[in-house]
Each structure stands twice: as structure tokens, then as C-alpha cells.
């Protein structure tokens, strides 16, 4: 287990808040006159610090990626498996698989396949709740398309949720990527969509809990 680099500033601010509150409480000896208030004010910054640290945690996982398999790009729950019209890149029908990440999930995102980035675009947008049907097309989002060695193309979309205010990504067009490697991070509640060819064999089901790098969501 380690902490993600995107969380360093948030963790530092939470740590400063913790130290300031504890210093004030001890300096004014609040525990002598208002023990209950002292306990509440001591617990709150501790809880905030622990919550932020767990949000930015990154588990160290051993995974095996093989050509033809499609790995889950995020921890969370499968909330969508359906045939849709993809209107940004393919302009045809695809199978959409969506993974919702609650604030308790790991929020790093990982490449589902190996290949070359054919397309990348960031979109400003709304902040609908991440499970809203229109969040994939109306929310702040970043879209990537990875083309595998065998010529299959996978569209991957990071979608900001109602609480998310920053999408982080480390990819660019023309870059070669490996399945299972990290490509980005979304802060505070979000969703990742994967768009696959119609003949793809789906290996997950609705409401299934999944783990990035470990769960195989589909197979070419």
C-alpha cells in the first residue's frame, strides 16, 4: 500500500489542520473545562486525515495481462452493461461497461489493454452524479482510444461525478501503453466507461464489485 502523488497536497493540508486544532486544544487546556468538546474536536481532524489518506491509497497488486483480455480500469461496481450509440469517436454501436467508484474506492485508473493511444480529448462539462445516464456525455470527462496490436480499438472515458473536481491523466496521442499500468486518477467520486466492439465476450454482470488490474471484464 502507498499514497498516490495526486493526494500529497490534500494530505498535507489535512495534516496541518490536524496539528493546528490539536495545538489549540492543548494550549488552552480545553480538556480541563470541556472534556466532551475536547474529545469531539480531537476526533474530527483525526477522522478527516485518515479519510483523505485512505482515499488516496494505492494498493500494490500483482496482475497478469495477456493479449485479448480486457482488464478492469477501476475499482468499484458495474453500473452499466448495454449496447449504445457511441457519438464521439466510433459513431456506431458499441457495448458500454461503466464502473462507478464511490469515495471509499481506490480512485487510480488503469489501462484495460496494451496498445497505442489513437485519440485523446478532454471535455469540460457538468457535474451530474456519476451514475446518471447522461454523465458519460454531459459531465466533465476525458476520452482515450487504445488500439491493440491485433487492431481492436477500445474507448476509455474518465467521467467526473458530482463531487469530483479534477480529472488527472498521463497519456497523449501516439503513446504506447501496457495493460494494467496506471494512466490517471479522478478525485472524490467518479466513474470510468469502457466502449467495446459488439462481438466482445463480456465477463462481468451488473452490480458486480470489481477491482482494477485484477478483474477481467471482457475478452476479444
Contact 120, 172 (CB under 8 A): yes
Task: Find the catalytic residue in 98, 135, 136, 190.
Answer: 190
Residue ranges of E strands in 55-152 = 57-58, 69-71, 76-86, 92-101, 108-110, 115-123, 141-147
Partners of 200 in the β-ladder: none
Contacts of 45 (CB under 8 A, 6+ apart): 14, 17, 18, 21, 22
Interatomic CA distance for residues 26 and 218, integer angstroms: 56
9 labelled catalytic: no
Partners of 142 in the β-ladder: 122, 158
The residues annotated as belonging to the active site are 190
Amino acid at each position: 500500500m502507498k499514497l498516490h502523488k495526486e493526494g500529497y497536497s490534500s494530505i498535507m493540508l489535512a495534516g496541518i489542520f490536524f496539528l493546528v486544532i490539536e495545538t489549540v486544544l492543548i494550549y488552552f487546556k480545553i480538556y480541563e473545562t470541556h472534556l466532551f468538546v475536547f474529545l469531539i474536536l480531537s476526533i474530527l481532524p483525526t477522522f478527516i486525515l485518515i479519510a483523505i489518506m485512505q482515499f488516496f491509497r494505492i494498493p500494490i497488486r500483482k496482475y497478469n495481462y495477456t493479449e485479448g483480455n480486457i482488464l478492469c480500469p477501476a475499482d468499484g461496481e458495474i453500473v452499466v452493461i448495454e449496447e449504445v450509440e457511441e457519438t464521439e469517436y466510433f459513431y456506431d454501436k458499441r457495448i458500454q461497461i461503466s464502473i462507478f467508484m464511490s469515495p471509499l474506492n481506490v480512485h487510480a485508473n488503469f489501462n484495460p489493454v496494451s496498445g497505442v493511444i489513437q485519440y485523446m480529448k478532454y471535455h469540460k462539462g457538468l457535474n451530474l452524479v456519476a451514475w446518471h445516464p447522461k454523465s458519460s456525455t454531459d459531465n466533465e470527462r476525458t476520452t482515450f482510444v487504445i488500439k491493440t496490436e491485433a487492431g481492436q480499438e477500445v474507448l476509455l472515458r474518465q467521467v467526473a461525478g458530482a463531487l469530483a473536481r479534477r480529472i488527472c491523466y498521463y497519456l497523449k496521442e501516439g503513446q504506447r501503453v501496457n495493460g494494467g499500468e496506471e494512466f490517471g486518477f479522478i478525485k472524490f467520486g467518479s466513474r470510468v466507461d469502457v466502449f467495446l466492439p459488439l462481438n466482445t465476450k463480456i465477463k462481468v454482470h451488473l452490480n458486480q464489485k470489481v477491482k482494477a488490474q485484477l478483474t477481467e471484464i471482457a475478452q476479444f
